[in-house]
Chains A and B, each alone.
Chain A
Amino acid sequence: MLVAEARQPGDVLAAGEFGRARSHELERTLRVVRVPFGEGLALKRDLWLAKPEAGSGRTRATTEPRPGFQQEARPDLVAWRTGQVKRPRVDEERRRPPDEAARAANVRFPVPAYPSEFEIPDEWLAGLPLDRRPFPGTAYRATGRPVLVPLATVQPPRRNLTVTRDWLGFDRVRFRRVLEDGFWARPRSHAAA
């Protein structure tokens, strides 16, 4: 039966160094003593009531780091904890394309109402008037009688990581065709002119 416990560094344990530490740093300086069943409570009560006196042999736990257990400093994690950089993603290596220079040059778009952003290669967007933004509250031209819904209310569709295609799940020909057909196309009345 345990007599006393040192719960935090700096706890003063009983006379004769009875007790047990909760951490290795404390246990290094203490001595674990087990007493027979039935005698622990009385002993613990006496130790609890006793006041520490100078030179009585009581031990104060130290906060010295245990040698050999020092972890190597991780600059990336330190920078993350201090808020200097964003938290590293687990699947960052898997998503990273081989050409880092091309990735830095790509255009990135934030997804509304979703904490992420995606990027498209520059050559996919070549020849498209990116600087010409559509009016607010509009969508691409669709067939039939569609219902206009805000884009932020639609959950972004997901692609399995195994489906890589040309670029992060995007098909180049299809993405280009979607942009050319639906987005920068003029109305029918202007087409004949």
Chain B
Amino acid sequence: MVFGQDLDPMPLREVPPLEWSNQLYTYVTADGYHRFFASIAAGFDHLPGDLPGAR
């Protein structure tokens, strides 16, 4: 790699669907502030998420 090493994925938590509500987001996170907004600045439209139940 040119600069450094791989980054850790975003720690995500899936929000259970709520009935009778316009739920905008499926995942929430409490960490990865720079990774989230740097992804937007870089032009990415996806995020590598670290989901607890996905493994």
| Interface set of A (CB-CB < 8 Å, partner B) | 107, 109-113, 118, 120, 125, 133-134, 136-157, 159, 169-171, 174-175, 177-188, 191
Give A156 to B12 CA distance when docked, in angstroms: 11
- B: number of interface residues (CB 8 Å): 41
The answer to whether residues A111 and B40 also contact, given A139-B46, A150-B45 and a CB cut-off of 8 A, is: yes
Q: Which of A133, A154, A180, A185 is packed against the most chain B CB atoms within 10 Å?
A: A154
Q: Which of A157, A169, A187 is packed against the most chain B CB atoms within 10 Å?
A: A157
B residues 1-37 near A (Cβ < 8 Å) are: 1-10, 12, 24-37
Interfacial chain A residues near B4, Cβ < 8 Å: 177, 180-181, 185
Contact of B48 among A118, A125, A137, A142 (CB under 8 A): A142
Contact, CB under 8 Å: B49 / A146 = yes
Interfacial chain B residues near A187, Cβ < 8 Å: 1
Contact, CB under 8 Å: B43 / A133 = yes
A114 CB to nearest B CB, Å: 8
Contact, CB under 8 Å: B37 / A143 = no
Give A147 to B11 CA distance when docked, in angstroms: 10
What are 9 A-B contacts defined by CB distance under 8 Å?
A: A140-B35, A140-B44, A147-B9, A147-B51, A151-B47, A154-B29, A170-B37, A183-B42, A186-B2
Contact, CB under 8 Å: B26 / A149 = yes
Contact, CB under 8 Å: B46 / A151 = yes
Q: Which of B35, B42, B55 is packed against the most chain A CB atoms within 10 Å?
A: B42
Contact, CB under 8 Å: A139 / B44 = yes
Interfacial chain B residues near A112, Cβ < 8 Å: 40, 45
Interfacial chain A residues near B43, Cβ < 8 Å: 133-134
